[in-house]
Chain A
């Protein structure tokens, strides 16, 4: 099998062999979209790993309330942003069951929405191998902004020029 054949096999897997990805414990993803006054995020949390995290805390509140205890944003100087969990739904990604939350982060008056500190330990406070992968949407391909793994729970996020340009282009 040459590399082309290997990639064709990989593409075939998109449709037919998702469960094999269970070979890799599923991670969380935070997909950020930068708006003029706020930042919207799709927060994808794998249910299998979330179950370990909530069990460890004996947490029984609704998912949105749980998420608000573990997800936040701050200015680089430490001022809290407003966080709204607008909705959430169950979904699957590559055959793993996920909770998908639509979240809006709004900076305090005068703060730029292009620079903040994302705080997330919804799963990582318990699952030691779990990784939160933070991506910026808007460009042709998502831009990897960084990742969080225990004990890290804070990631400095800076909107890049590429993302900003794409946003302006899409508004024209």
Chain B
């Protein structure tokens, strides 16, 4: 988000809760063409396809099978090559049409996040000259399966620090897996200041700071990355494989031990912070994609079984700081890591999974 750095400690946590919610609204300054409605997304894809060559259409269209669906990552393209239509290869008309697809599927917040994470990659390109794929152009769009108003298919938009995986008409709601991150955390480009994950980092740190006085909220152990992310598999003498969602489907914690504090044990103000954190992630896809999930996550029954835990510094000011929301379906993580291009600084990784409906429930083992 441009020029919007929240200073929450001055106002206290109750005000911080409303600040976080307001931050999300303020960030959505760009129009969203379709808010994730399948017919609008399909029309935008048709408009894009009209601008493409046959070869480009082959890059865009991929089968809706497990191997295609799990091919997202949080690693640079030089480490984990992506499939799909590379945005950096498109001419102006094609780029406009591709952006139309993103605008149809995403909320204004989600579209802005896509823009700003890509700008962050270009900032890294100037800081770190290794040929590893930092580049705003190294973001891709793919359509898995045949777009339809009734049968399952997927839209993937992503690159180094972003993975939007939207499944339409799946057996379950299809907003996830959704990975996003940023390095640098804050930066300036062309005279504009950016902090792409300010809404989510503020919401998660507000929540962790509010809970820090409660011992039950503290998770044991150390966190050096998100827990349910991608895995790199070594191949002796060769480039490692994987770096994608090869571990899907994941197992998740069960029982009530070491999962944090139950939502029901929180004060009303703290509960508001928890819901603001959920909505800071869920606001990224278009409302048609995400609304049923928010309703499910924030139902009384679901919240009664939702845990919130943190580790490290609650203000997310140091490496190893970690916050997690873990419910019957919801799994949202936020972790602070050392930066890679400049390891004296920090960077963020965040992940949203749904324990029941990743890939719309359409992808198995």
Contact = CB atoms under 8 A, between A and B. Distances in A.
A21 B75 contact: yes
B34 interface: no
Interface string B118-148: 0000000000001111000110000000000
Interface string A19-39: 111111101010100000000
Interface in B222-270: 222-227, 229-236, 238-240, 243, 247, 251, 253
Contact of B224 (A2, A13, A52, A135): A52
A104 interface: no
Contacts of A23: 74-76, 79, 340
A13 B235 CA distance: 15
Contact of A129 (B77, B227, B236, B239): B227
Give the residue among A128, A131, A152 with the most B Cβ atoms within 10 A: A128
A7 B247 CA distance: 22
A94 B240 contact: yes
A16 to B, nearest CB: 6
A129 B131 CA distance: 28
Contacts of B235: 141-142
A11 B229 CA distance: 23
A150 interface: yes
A120 to B, nearest CB: 16
B149 interface: no
B275 interface: no
B155 to A, nearest CB: 19
Given A52-B222, A128-B223, A24 B130 contact: no
Contacts of A72: none
Interface residues of B, number: 49
B326 to A, nearest CB: 12
B192 to A, nearest CB: 26
A3 B83 contact: yes
Contact of A93 (B75, B88, B221, B234): B234
B63 interface: no
A83 interface: no
A4 to B, nearest CB: 9
Interface string A129-153: 1110101010001101001011110
Contact of B78 (A2, A13, A24, A141): A13
Category for how many chain A residues contact B: 35 or more
Contacts of A22: 338, 340, 343
B231 A147 contact: yes
A147 to B, nearest CB: 7
Contacts of A21: 75, 79, 232, 240
Contacts of A135: 233-234
Contacts of B238: 14
A9 B222 contact: no
B353 interface: no
A47 interface: no
B234 A129 contact: no
Give the residue among A11, A31, A127 with the most B Cβ atoms within 10 A: A127
A139 to B, nearest CB: 12
A10 B225 contact: no
A11 B340 contact: no
A20 to B, nearest CB: 4
B81 A127 contact: no
Contacts of B313: none
A12 interface: yes
Nearest to A21: B79
B219 interface: yes
Contacts of A2: 59, 86
A126 interface: yes
B74 A10 contact: no
B89 interface: yes
A93 B233 CA distance: 12
Interface of B: 59, 74-83, 86, 88-89, 130-133, 137-138, 219, 221-227, 229-236, 238-240, 243, 247, 251, 253, 311, 335, 337-338, 340, 343
Given A10-B78, A14-B238, 17 more contacts: A1-B138, A3-B83, A6-B77, A9-B132, A13-B132, A17-B132, A21-B79, A21-B232, A23-B340, A25-B225, A94-B240, A129-B223, A129-B225, A129-B229, A133-B231, A144-B233, A151-B253
5 contacts: A10-B78, A128-B221, A129-B229, A133-B234, A151-B253
